[in-house]
Amino acid sequence: MNLLQTLRQHGQSVWLDGLERNLILTGQLERSIDNGLRGVISNFTSLERAIRERSYDCDFRATVRQPNINAQWIYEYLTVQDMQLTADLMKAVHNRTHAGDGFVNLDLPPQVALDPQATLTEARRLWQTVGWSNLMLKIPATSATVSVIEQLIHQGININVTSLFSQAVYEQVAEAYLRGLEVLAKQGKEVSTIASVASFSVSRLDEAITALITTHLEAEQERGLPEPFRGDVAICATQQRFAIAQAKVMYQRYQTIYQSDRWQALARLGAQPQRLLWDITNIRNARFHAQYYIKSLVGAGTVLALSPLILQEQDHYSPTHASLTVGVDAAYQTLENLEQIISLEMITPQLLSEELQRSQAAYQQLLRTIAQKRQSKQSF
């Protein structure tokens, strides 16, 4: 039994984060779907790398005869094709799970993340352009977009709310989803076909907390710190637990929300919970490893986002139990210890800002690579 099948037995879906054309053309994506893959996520970095590696050269040759197009136009041309091809492959999963899985996820241009009207306009446009009901649009959880998420949900558009770091922001996102569904229900419209996930950046949070603790220790030279943080040995032993602890606490809140009377009224109409998605695709610190995260984040009704490399490396790994419900009291204690020197709620704006900057930089690098590729094809 492979990893995808094992996690399905625990009620968890795996989505592949890193779509590019060769996965489709070589049949690798279709084989992964047959093996249990339940969703696909695109990102700027994977697309940029694939373009550099010539995966899209045929598309670029086709654009040479169109002189009045720019890099942004080509980017959308490529991604819309990828989304449509992948949505077609995932449609059987989408139908079989009654719109619970089988989604393809597309980023909005990062420059609209702080502008609610631009986010709303761009989301509607891309939803209509791709034209598949199993499309899910990625929108970061900024203060400007929470109200937009509610509007898009009650307009029937599936949303992946990304870049979550704190429980307070998660509460806002969950509330926006519920309100959006309630508007639909009051209008007598179908709610069972709408889906959303709230994506928690697990590996990013661990990376950030580790850096902050290290800086704090160096500055304070370990004087006056709480016992759990004294010494390098203690840090090595505990640093991987913070984001996992946060995930366990958020999962507890998720279960509370979707067991409430308010939710049950929507569930009777066929509404689906907004699932938590655990994003571990960006593991940079050598002390963190994919298998640790996978075994620590197993939980029914959630989604695990894996890069193609992690999925390949961990294909035969089989977690033995649903770990998100284990050690919850210890998770609360871990976060209480952390709060003595670092407030997760206080650092969330900084983490979100860094994530938006990272996304903007990746997008701009993608556009530069597209422009360079187009120019090189025009020279033939």
> Looking at the chain, how many residues does it have?
380
Who contacts 187 (Cβ-Cβ below 8 Å, separation ≥6)?
Answer: 154
Burial 251-288 (b: 16+ CB within 10 A, else e): bbebbebbeeeebeebbeeebbbbbbbbbbbbbeeeeb
Over residues 134-138, the mean pLDDT reads 98
Over residues 92-113, the mean pLDDT reads 97
pTM of the predicted model as reported, rounded to 2 decimal places: 0.93
What is the C-alpha separation between 36 and 3, in angstroms, rounded?
9
The residues that bridge with 135 in the sheet, in sequence order, are 104
From 353, 156, 135, 139, select the one nearest 148 (Cα to Cα). 139
What is the C-alpha separation between 336 and 203, in angstroms, rounded?
20
pLDDT digits (tens, 9 = 90+) for 15-55: 999 999 999 999 999 999 999 999 999 999 999 999 999 89
91 is catalytic: no
| pLDDT reported for residue 375 | 83
Q: Which residue out of 138, 186, 189, 373 is catalytically annotated? A: 138
From 275, 265, 320, 270, select the one nearest 300 (Cα to Cα). 275
Residue 327 has pLDDT above 90, yes or no: yes
What is the C-alpha separation between 362 and 345, in angstroms, rounded?
26
Residue 90 has pLDDT above 60, yes or no: yes
Residue with tokens 């009777």: 268
Over residues 341-357, the mean pLDDT reads 92
Residue 245 has pLDDT above 90, yes or no: yes
Give me the architecture of the 3-203+254-319+349-378 domain, per CATH.
Answer: Alpha-Beta Barrel (3.20)
